[in-house]
Amino acid sequence: MPSITVARPCPDLCPVQAHAQGLAQKRSRVPLATKCNVNGIVAIAPTKLSLPRTLPRPVLREVEVNSLLDAYPACAGIPAEYIRDHLPLSTMRAALQAVATSVPESSLPKELDILMNDIVAAACPTHMFAVYGDASPACGQKRRVTLFPAHALVFGTHCANLPALPASQPSTSSARATVPVVPVRLPSPETFPLLQSYLYTQQPPSLAPPCDSDLLRLAPHAKKVYGLWRNACVLGVVDAPLYDAIEASWERTLSAIQACS
């Protein structure tokens, strides 16, 4: 997906981000230190990364579809679960992969034009997510933002904490469709593609620890699993199978780290 750097700040995605971060902080964490295992604490080579022993599953609450009714009035009275189960995900995935757009290099626009073709027209994305991280850019540096085309129906029916998205009904009858750009702040922007892939395939991501791993390979893997979990908590993803995959991978990853220590 296209990447740009922008200097202007973007608003927070939602207030529950602090709650998700607090979930991890309330659990005892596993500091990574050189080859020691004291009182059951897993540890590896010195690093700033620290790992919680568990990744607690958030309370899963069903999505309210009211925010989608202006754009999709036919959804009135239909449970979010039913909508999720009947989304044309394969057509939507194909449209995402076929999206082409012109991205400015110096600033984040409010709207972007998507070039239209038959594949995109079959399920045109409704928004362009501008995903960025928690960390403030260093002095004199610009914030890194990565753009991802997205469908309001996919994210709006899977993510209980997603704020109402700007109205968008892109026309597919011309050579270009204009969609709003939505700033999305996440604790782990680098793992957003994993989450988006799950939402569009309903296949839990492959999160098995690297085979024949050493500590230097396990630490980045643990960070990836942890980042995916944090993003899912912040967005309020309602899919239990995703958390099943995350929890299973986390247990295997910590066991592998402990074995290497």
Please spell the DSSP secondary structure of 56-117, one letter per residue: PPPPP-PPP-GGGTTT-GGGTT--HHHHHHT--HHHHHHHHHH--B---SS---SEEEEEP-
pLDDT band of residue 180 (cuts 50, 70, 90) is very high
Of 4-8, 38-42, 45-49, 91-95, which has the strongest mean pLDDT? Answer: 91-95
Mean pLDDT of the chain: 82
| Residue carrying structure tokens 């957003």 | 192
Q: pLDDT at residue 181 above 50? A: yes
Question: DSSP label at 173?
Answer: S
- 200, 92 in Cβ contact below 8 A? yes
Tokens standing for 59?
Answer: 């309370």
**CA–CA separation, 55 and 101 (whole Å):** 37
Q: Is 227 exposed, middle or buried (0-12, 13-18, 19+ CB in 10 A)?
A: buried
**CA–CA separation, 179 and 182 (whole Å):** 9
Q: pLDDT at residue 139 above 70? A: yes
- 53, 30 in Cβ contact below 8 A? yes
Q: pLDDT at residue 195 above 90? A: yes
pLDDT digits (tens, 9 = 90+) for 3-18: 443 333 333 444 344 4
> In 22-31, which positions are buried (b, 16+ CB within 10 angstroms) versus exposed (e)?
ebbeeeeebb
**CA–CA separation, 246 and 111 (whole Å):** 34
Query: Max Cα separation, the chain?
Result: 65
Beta-carbon contacts of 177 under 8 Å, excluding residues fewer than 6 positions away, are: 113, 114, 116, 120, 124, 170, 171
Lowest mean pLDDT among 79-88, 215-224, 252-261: 252-261
- 34, 47 in Cβ contact below 8 A? no
Q: pLDDT at residue 245 above 60? A: yes
pLDDT for res 38:
37
pTM above 0.85, yes or no: no
* Cα distances (Å, whole numbers) of residue 120 to 46, 97, 116, 176, 186: 47, 9, 6, 10, 27
Q: pLDDT at residue 34 above 50? A: no
